[in-house]
Amino acid sequence: MRAAMYYNNRDIRLVELPKPKIGPGELLMKVMACGICGSDVLEWYRVPKAPRVLGHEATGIVTEVGEGVDRYKVGDRIFVSHHVPCGKCRYCLRGHHTACETLHRTNYDPGGFSEYIRVPRINVEQGVYLLPDDLSFEDGTFIEPLGCVARGQRLANVQEGDTVLILGSGVSGLLHLQLARSRGVERIITTDINGYRLGVAKKFGADVAIHASENVPERLRQFNDGRLADKVIVCTGAKSASEQALRCVDRGGTILFFAVPGPDTSVPLPIADFWRNEITIMTSYGAGPSDLKEALKLIENRVVNVRDLITHQLSLDEVGLGFDLVARAGESLKVIIKPHK
């Protein structure tokens, strides 16, 4: 079978690999669509583990069923979570499923940028979700990224009446925007350095879209009755955005680092001011099973519009172009690879 082997953002090679063989309790899935995630183009995150086949937003069709599997059958349309928690450890029992060691060790074989993937037993047991008949494979690729967004907003307690500032108007920022709107927040302000993405943010319901080079705290006060934001959600790894977030949170507010700079980057923290004003700083990583179930329902019920976030649908032969589009972040949003296109 064909697969895209990642070395770095500019070196992705189409290779021939053996079609995976499944064992008892496993599934073989024909990959119909797999989105390129913003994390896929973070070279500090990906290159140390290269070469490998990436892709963790995969949907497809069950083509083989291993012995002992009775919940799924050949022909089922599914989304598969690449990471699954054990559900039994201290972290899972305390609600921190994405801190589970099992979650960080699990994956399907190989990544979603291939024609077929083998779904291991633990993923079959805890990470397979049937797609409704009226949900396309392309829309289904958003289950994982929207699950991450749902988890982040749940942890940060985004709620009715909040003013939410979203730094970064790429796919994750636009998903945060739509989900926050569905939660009844009072105002949503977004930022970006890309004029195209600021325009899209307005289309998706941002009350105000500010260029990140402006004095964002001052502009925020102008549009928010003199106050800063109750919730600041950082959706870009740019150090400047992390620093900006620290200046944009209101007293008693929360900063959610949904995206972070690389490990060699330090961001100075005004800890005395934050102590006095009871500022909460938090992170969220990935999605747990309940988050993915919520995301599937949000997409199925059209609470979040994912279809209009898709700007490119490419074949496996065009995966290099896809990575370039995502890395440059020009006039593109979600790029989906369709291995059998």
The string of pLDDT tens digits covering residues 241-300 is 999 999 999 999 999 999 999 998 999 999 999 999 999 999 999 999 999 999 999 999
User: What tokens does 106 get?
Assistant: 């699990």
CATH architecture of 2-142+306-338: Alpha-Beta Complex (3.90)
The string of pLDDT tens digits covering residues 188-235 is 999 999 999 999 999 999 999 999 999 999 999 999 999 999 999 999
Domain ranges in the chain are 2-142+306-338, 147-283
Instruction: Please give the torsion angle defined by the CA atoms of residues 221, 255, 261 and 107, in that order, rounded to the nearest 10 degrees.
Output: -140
Q: What is the predicted pLDDT for the residue at 181? A: 97
**CATH topology of 2-142+306-338 equal to that of 147-283?**
no
Return the bridge partners of 231, or none.
Answer: 164, 254
The CATH T-level fold of domain 147-283 is Rossmann fold (3.40.50)
What is the rounded CA–CA span in Å between residue 326 and residue 329? 5
Question: Considering the chain, what percentage of its residues have pLDDT values greater than 90?
Answer: 98
Return the bridge partners of 232, or none.
Answer: 165, 255
What is the rounded CA–CA span in Å between residue 116 and residue 54? 13
